[in-house]
Structure 1
Amino acid sequence: MGTAMIALQALLALVLPLVQLYIGSFQSFFGLYDNWTLDNYRKVLDDPDTIDAIITTFGLALVGGFVTMLLCVPAPAHPRLKIVAYMQGWEQYQKVWDAFEKRFPGITTKGLAVNGPELTTKLSAERSSGKHVGSLLGGPDFQRKEVLKPLDLPTAKTLGAAYREDSRIFYAPTTTVWGIEYNSDKVAGADVPRKWADLLDPKWKGRIVAGDPTTPSATSGTLIRLYGGHAIDDAWLDRLKAQDVTFKSSLEIADQSVARGEFDVLLTTLSDFFFPSKAKGAPIGFAFPLEDGNVSTPTYFAALKDGAAPADTELLMNWLFTAEAQQAFAQIDALPTMPGAPAVQGLVPLDQVKLLDIPGPEEITSLWDPMTTKFKDVFGSPKG
């Protein structure tokens, strides 16, 4: 009923008057329906002023309509700059970056494996030209603070001191921990080492293998941190030497020799090596945490000063410490660092592990040369 009344109202108020106007235009006098004629149209079209008015009206309508259409067409979205990270190993966290891009459509990320002198040259060229490509550094060199900027990250307020740096420049959303690897077919139960000191037990003589501690490496890095955290000392090193440890040229080779059963124990390895080997079915176990001290080597990220896409970069840095990002790290067996973050592969959650009070990153960097020299003096060169 309501629709019918609306239609009737439209008919009476609009349609009928327009029909009356149209029919009346063909009469000699409007409202007097005596005969049909085109005289009214001839008079109008013969008047130059009327024609000009009509042309002007159509012109204004055409231009106005065109301008209106332009204003109504949405402007193309301004392309967002890509977040470019200078980092070795960026691709190992690809699923994390995929999760970020899914959370924030339109923002893309890319990692470039640039470091050392090449990175120095690249950063210098960007500063000189003012054309910044890089946005952040991953696993940054702590001696590059002058090209980095501090950030206040609300999502990282509860992040432990071991995973941030006092300058508010370096933040670590993930980390690697170090433990003692062993062949689980040959070592089990009470024989599994529970402390670094257990490696000095005479029963392990000739049964321990290790990576190369005489050059900057994963193995020397761990020993430096253990030494700096007072979990080991010179006496421990001398006693370890008496165990006839076999030192290989790389941690990878040492890891494989334990998996093959050639040795019972790997002096130390990192979780990033252990997890993939274990996933392939290797008969190995990972002693962690250890009673006399634990080492964690964080993967730091830092924003470049005047870097590309600064707002999106800060967004990424904040997102890395959200529950979503921490879960994404855990799903790829990268240990998340935030309190309450998921455990990985059955390891004790990091917020329940007491870490050694080791020197800060800058001091660790300064210890590489003297400590690797010390290790070479004690252990000699690797044998294979």
Structure 2
Amino acid sequence: MKKILVTLLALILVPSAFAADTDLLRKAKAEGQVSFYANITAVKPIMDAFNAETGLKGKYTRISTSKFLATVLTEFQAGKLMADVLQAPLPVMQMLKAQGVLASYNSPAAASYPDWTRKDDQIHTFGIEYVALIYNKELVKQADVPKRYEDLTDPKWKNKIVMANPGTHATTISWLVGLKENVYKSEAEWMQFLKGLAANKPMFVKSFGPTPAPVESGEKSIAISMPKYIITKAPAPLDWARVEQPLLGTPRGMAIASSAKNPNAAKLFMDFWLSKKAMGMLASDVGEYVLAPGVFPPIDGMDKAKVIPIRTMSDKEIRDWGAKFKKIFALR
């Protein structure tokens, strides 16, 4: 009930920026439907709102990040891509762009977004897959909550940390390199952090998805994870460490498929998705960090956090850094 009230309040306080172009709406209605492939979760409320507001039938298919590129490219190259609109982490979207999968479209709904999100005429960047330190507030005393990333190297956290595998999980690899490039003043300081973190013997899991469970249960005290789980795992006793340094994350992008069977409905959907109304729902229901101005997830203190995007790393960089992290963290 509390979650429903928070969502309703967010929609009341965040006015809709979606006002469909009459001609575009008419053409979209003639197509009647739109298909959306995405790696993001829990977007059914947005799909339902789009359907109700436009009269179209929006179909959502979730594909995990690890399978997204292969799935889309296989379908596209076979001439069987069913998606009209695609959404994935920015590096994946850029690889799809290089393969000719994406069409050009500049949505008017993105006009007020930060300048750096609108430099690509195909990919719209609408959010950041932000990473933070999530802890069990029933187990961790307030005085012990990390204030800086290097606090994770304190021996008191030995065997009490969970994180995605730094040898294989691309986002964690990018995040660790992002700390080197955006937070630490020298490579020596960064390397000291890595070695101290490794010395505390974190539990490694496949991706961010499994990171909250050991913290919820009390098996572990703290996770390198995503703040959105404070929303999606409520009423679990989770909170985030308000570190003095910036939060880092991978940008989320979306675009229209060059082979879209419903190109006008795809444009209409893009406009709706990028509106403050839809972004307000994504922030409130899912806890996502979105880039629509003035829209924040209902997580205490997140509106004051500095969240910055990390650069896109090549496949080779991911592999090379993953191999180095395997050695540092003694992974097989």
Tell me the distance in 1 between the aligned counterparts of 2:205 and 2:263: 44
Tell me the distance in 1 between the aligned counterparts of 2:183 and 2:297: 27
SS at match of 1:373: helix
Tell me the CA shift for residue 156 of structure 1.
Answer: 1.0
For 1:4-19, list aligned pairs within 5 A.
none
Change (3 A) 1:216 1:263: closer
AA matched with 1:272:
K
Tell me the distance in 2 between the aligned counterparts of 1:342 and 1:241: 33
Tell me the CA shift for residue 328 of structure 1.
Answer: 2.1
For 1:145-160, list aligned pairs within 5 A.
145=97, 146-160=100-114
Q: Which residue of 2 aligns with 1:192?
A: 145
> Unpaired segments of 5 or more residues in structure 2?
1-27
Tell me the distance in 2 between the aligned counterparts of 1:313 and 1:149: 11
Q: Which residue of 1 aligns with 2:321?
A: 371
Is 2:227 the partner of 1:271? yes
Change (3 A) 1:113 1:191: closer
Q: Which residue of 1 aligns with 2:219?
A: 262
CA offsets 1:318-362 (integer angstroms, 9 cap, x no match): 22222222222233134232111144233422xx43234632x3x
SS at match of 1:275: helix
Is 2:92 the partner of 1:143? no
For 1:144-183, list aligned pairs within 5 A.
144-145=96-97, 146-161=100-115, 164=117, 166-183=119-136
TM-score by length of 1: 0.67
Change (3 A) 1:97 1:203: same
Q: Which residue of 2 aligns with 1:64?
A: none
Tell me the distance in 1 between the aligned counterparts of 2:33 and 2:164: 38
2:83–2:257 CA contact under 8 A, matched in 1: yes
1:241–1:379 CA contact under 8 A, matched in 2: yes
SS at match of 2:294: coil
Determine what percentage of the aligned residue pairs are the same residue: 22
1:174–1:329 CA contact under 8 A, matched in 2: no
The Cα RMSD (Å) is 2.8
Tell me the CA shift for residue 230 of structure 1.
Answer: 4.1
Tell me the distance in 2 between the aligned counterparts of 1:78 and 1:203: 60
RCO higher in 1 or 2 (8 Å CA, sep ≥ 6)? 2
Is 2:184 the partner of 1:233? no
Is 2:78 the partner of 1:121? no
CA offsets 1:245-273 (integer angstroms, 9 cap, x no match): 3334554554322222222222x101233
| Structure with more strand by fraction | 2
Q: Which residue of 1 aligns with 2:250?
A: 297
Tell me the distance in 1 between the aligned counterparts of 2:210 and 2:29: 50
Tell me the distance in 2 between the aligned counterparts of 1:320 and 1:253: 28
> Unpaired segments of 5 or more residues in structure 1?
1-76
Change (3 A) 1:118 1:206: closer
